Amino acid sequence: MLLDPVVGWDLGGAHVKAASVNVNGAVQQVIQRPCPLWRGLPQLRITLRSMLEDMQIDRASHAVTMTGELVDIFPDRTHGVRELLGVMVQQFGETPLLVYAGRNGFVSAEAVAAQAEQVASANWLAAATLVANRMSEGLYIDVGSTTTDMLSFSHGEVNACGFTDHARLTQDELIYTGVIRTPVMAITDRAASAGRWTGLMAEQFATTADVYRLTGDLPAYADMLPSADGGDKTEAASARRLARMLGVDMGLATEQDAADNDDWVRVAEYIAECQLMRLRTACETHLSRGVFGVSAPLVGAGIGRFLVRALAIRLQRPFVDFGTFFPPEPLAGGAAIADCAPAVAIALLASNEFAGGQGKSYHRVGAGAE
């Protein structure tokens, strides 16, 4: 049974994303809200209710994918999948609900218990599948708040080599770096300041959100989570947190003092370059496999897709924004389509599934896949 619209949900450990599409496959709303799931399942219930109120949707068909099963309130991923799905069933049990199980496509909520491993952290496959169905070849890169997904595709197929987090980490298909939550200490162990290289403290005093506030790259609407110290999310406060990583106490510097301090902006730019080089290194893994041509584009998604654009320039390849696959129509919800690519993909793929379609749900498995 298909109720219009179809809402795709992407349950993360720090954010929940949703996208609605109508019966004709047109994206109507894209919305993202913070959800600190590590504080407990009530956070998810509160976030879902708030999002449904904002979306003004009474009855719909729903489809879900997730990565939030990884948070450490759960003893393992299997328990996480079951607990998260339990919340979704409580919320949507009276309406059609499908769960994305990666290579196995969509399954019913009742079938998830036996397929928890396939359901866990499969959101990347939905988005990459949608891209592979719309372009002949390229490298899909989704840079989010916490992680980066990187998948090559060719001949309409996703060339995935891993399907668990562990396997994907070994294949440079999952890179644990993002543009908001990643601690600065996870990107580099030193930076130059005041004429000398200084080791960074192994403390979570600053995150990449501070870095990209100072460089001016972080979209304000995507900056939803509290800062590392719970303080202001201004340039002055970001500079103060970054300085603390180098053992420098800026005290109560004013906004103007920090804005005029080119040195801390330069430190932020260096850290951003280190992160970009980590992604460049991962790109080289995929380029070396020779599964797509020299002119194949990089397809960028996620709130950090500005880094994908920068990579495309470095690699002298075209850049394609995930959002360009869709008509440039005004959307409700406040987020861009490319910000929430897996949620959009889940909604579209599920719409086909609800309607009884036989669209591609997965494709070729690369050598050594797990």
For 94, residues 6+ apart whose C-beta sits below 8 A from its C-beta are: none
The string of pLDDT tens digits covering residues 335-349 is 899 999 999 999 999
3-state helix, strand, coil split of the chain in percent (to 5) is 40, 20, 40
Which range marks the domain in which residue 64 is found?
6-127+325-354
- Does residue 85 form part of some domain? yes
pLDDT exceeding 70 applies to what percent of the chain?
Answer: 93
The secondary structure of 249-288, three-state, reads CCCCCCHHHHHCCHHHHHHHHHHHHHHHHHHHHHHHHHHC
- Does residue 219 form part of some domain? no
pLDDT at 258 over 70: no
Could you tell me the CATH number of the domain that includes residue 35?
A: 3.30.420.40
Looking at the structure of the chain, the number of domains it has is 1
3-state secondary structure of 125: helix
pLDDT at 259 over 80: no
- Does residue 220 form part of some domain? no
pLDDT at 368 over 60: no
- Does residue 102 form part of some domain? yes
Look-up of token digits 């990449």: 208
In whole angstroms, give the CA distance from residue 210 to residue 183. 10
The string of pLDDT tens digits covering residues 201-214 is 999 999 999 999 99
Beta carbons of 246 and 270 less than 8 angstroms apart: no
3-state secondary structure of 221: helix
The string of pLDDT tens digits covering residues 178-197 is 999 999 999 999 999 889 99
* Amino acid symbol at 81: V
In whole angstroms, give the CA distance from residue 308 to residue 299. 8
**Which pTM value belongs to this model?**
0.93
Q: How far is CA 243 from CA 21, 177, 179, in A?
A: 45, 21, 18
Phi/psi zone of residue 149: left (φ > 0), alpha (ψ -120 to 50 degrees), beta? beta
Burial class (CB in 10 A: 0-12, 13-18, 19+), 322: buried
Helices and strands (H, E) in the chain, number of each type:
11, 14
pLDDT of the residue at 23: 86
Structure tokens at 39: 């504080």
Q: How far is CA 197 from CA 77, 85, 208, in A?
A: 41, 48, 20
3-state secondary structure of 119: helix
pLDDT at 161 over 50: yes
- Does residue 221 form part of some domain? no
pLDDT of the residue at 329: 72
Q: How confident is the model at residue 355 (pLDDT cuts 50, 70, 90)?
A: confident
Look-up of token digits 């989570």: 225
- Does residue 274 form part of some domain? no
Q: How confident is the model at residue 255 (pLDDT cuts 50, 70, 90)?
A: low
Structure tokens at 203: 């403390």
In whole angstroms, give the CA distance from residue 193 to residue 266. 9
Question: Mean pLDDT score of the chain, rounded to an integer?
Answer: 92
Burial class (CB in 10 A: 0-12, 13-18, 19+), 345: buried
The string of pLDDT tens digits covering residues 8-52 is 999 999 999 999 999 888 999 999 999 999 999 999 999 999 999
- Does residue 182 form part of some domain? no
pLDDT of the residue at 361: 43
Structure tokens at 287: 């380029």
In whole angstroms, give the CA distance from residue 147 to residue 99. 22
In whole angstroms, give the CA distance from residue 137 to residue 284. 16
pLDDT at 357 over 90: no
The string of pLDDT tens digits covering residues 86-137 is 999 999 988 999 999 999 999 999 999 999 999 999 999 999 999 999 999 9
pLDDT of the residue at 68: 97
pLDDT of the residue at 367: 40
Q: How confident is the model at residue 254 (pLDDT cuts 50, 70, 90)?
A: low
pLDDT of the residue at 286: 98
- Does residue 157 form part of some domain? no
Look-up of token digits 């060719």: 154
In whole angstroms, give the CA distance from residue 27 to residue 7. 10
DSSP 364: P
β strands within the chain, DSSP E? 6-11, 15-21, 27-34, 61-66, 97-100, 106-108, 137-143, 148-154, 157-158, 174-175, 190-193, 196-199, 298-301, 319-321
